[in-house]
Amino acid sequence: MDVISVIRTKRDKGELSPEQIDWVIDAYTRGAVADEQMSALAMAILLNGMNRDEIARWTAAMIASGERMDFSSLSRPTADKHSTGGVGDKITLPLAPLVAACGAAVPQLSGRGLGHTGGTLDKLESIPGWRALLSNEEMLHVLDTTGAVICAAGDGLAPADKKLYALRDVTGTVEAIPLIASSIMSKKIAEGTGSLVLDVKVGTGAFMKNIEDARELASTMVRLGTDSGVKTVALLTDMSTPLGLTAGNALEVRESVEVLAGGGPADVVELTIALAREMLDAAGIKDADPAKALADGSAMDVWRRMIAAQGGDPDANLPVAREQHVVTAPSSGVLTRLDAYDIGIAAWRLGAGRARKEDPVQAGAGVELHARPGDTVTAGQPLLTLHTDTPEKFDYALDSLENTWDIAPTGTAFTPSPIVLDRIA
């Protein structure tokens, strides 16, 4: 085998053989295939796609590159959730402790930011002392004692995906459906969870811009999970407008704690509860009420124990950016559109995301929203607040916000889109 032949096969719209797939994944993991060569193959896959057999084999090869975990020693059924990424998507933070409070064990392996979308680990690392990297023994201990753990996949779990995940972020290949599906499912299947709920985002702020592509991705992942013995369900959810009122690391943690305290934005609460119900159902837990667990403080109790178990201080002050810039409404009327992608790009440019895989992120950077579609605004009132430690980034971020909102005349009727658009099982 040689990598040039593999690249040419996919470049010329051919089907990769099982042997080619097994070889290239193994060779890339070992370092025998260079980043620039895998970048070329990833771009060819983005442009020309893969069929069902290729995706299944690619996923299996990624799983085979490392170890598989086993949670059979736990007394609770396991349930996990994965989001394909959005703007302001902090749902994992309140969701994991909520589902644990209802009786399931939640082994949540999460990732870092990809492109304009935030990463759960980047968000949680804004909590002083919190650790994303746990050994398998530590992960199992936290899971057993608190009911939930949110951490990075260990080096032994699908190491091929760990390399490829970071590479996709900086080579414009994040949106490739075969690579998204295999990346997500290789980790989740190797992780060993008994059931999985997928939150597949649709809209301008998602990698899937239209519902047809989102449905294709969801169906592909549901098949991969089901064929591997993991009960898998997918919800297609709207990502045309940012979730909640924040996009950025510490900003989103603060908002998540508000949700766990019984408050927070209505859309974040609604989606958290909807996903919790799906996870509990998939795990076979029928008598728990996640809305009650959110309201009575039991989910907050799990959150505090989970954060402390990973070295974090749940009472510590979160980082705040040194500089802020307020963007005001240019006219009065009804806000009818607030583009999620533009907000995500602005947060990324302010320092909440990374341009290269080795770049650090600013914990306090991001965008705070003061209005949502459907709200009536007045000319000159704050619409957004930009946060960063590096004020020279403000102009760069403002460039991405030139066509971010629409304001219709006062009295214009507005019908919001539903959050959950479809369910695939």
pLDDT-based confidence at residue 154 (cuts at 50, 70, 90): confident
Count of domains forming the chain: 3
Q: Which of 124-128, 187-191, 231-235 has the lowest mean pLDDT?
A: 187-191
pLDDT, average across residues 224-242:
95
Higher pLDDT, 420 or 227: 420
Same domain, 37 and 104: no
CA distances from 109 to 84, 139, 289, 353 (A): 13, 10, 24, 19
Same domain, 17 and 89: no
Q: HSE (CB half, 13 Å, CA atoms) of 250?
A: 21
Domain identity same for 294 and 327: no
Instruction: Please give the model's pTM, rounded to 2 decimal places.
Output: 0.90
Q: What's the mean pLDDT in 402-420?
A: 95
> Does the pLDDT of residue 123 top 90, yes or no?
yes
Distances (CA, A) of 407 to 267, 305, 386: 21, 44, 20
Let me know if residue 420 belongs to a domain: no
Residues 52 and 14: beta-carbon distance below 8 Å: no
Given a cut of 70, whether residue 357 has pLDDT beyond it is no
Predicted confidence at residue 224, as pLDDT, reads 95
CATH number assigned to the domain comprising residue 348? 3.90.1170.30
64 falls within a domain: no
Is the residue at 378 inside a domain?
yes
Domain that holds residue 105: 80-309
pLDDT of 51-100, one tens digit each? 999 999 999 999 999 999 989 899 999 999 999 889 999 999 999 999 99
Residues carrying an active site annotation: 82, 161, 168, 183, 187
Do 35 and 87 lie in one domain? The reply is no
**pLDDT per position as a tens digit, 2-19:** 999 999 999 999 999 999
Residue carrying structure tokens 């459906």 = 177
The answer as to whether 34 is a domain residue is yes
The pLDDT of residue 48 is above 90: yes
Residues 210 and 186 in one domain: yes
Cα 68-54-3 angle, rounded to 5 deg: 90
Q: What is the pLDDT of residue 223?
A: 94
| Domain shared by 355 and 248, yes or no | no
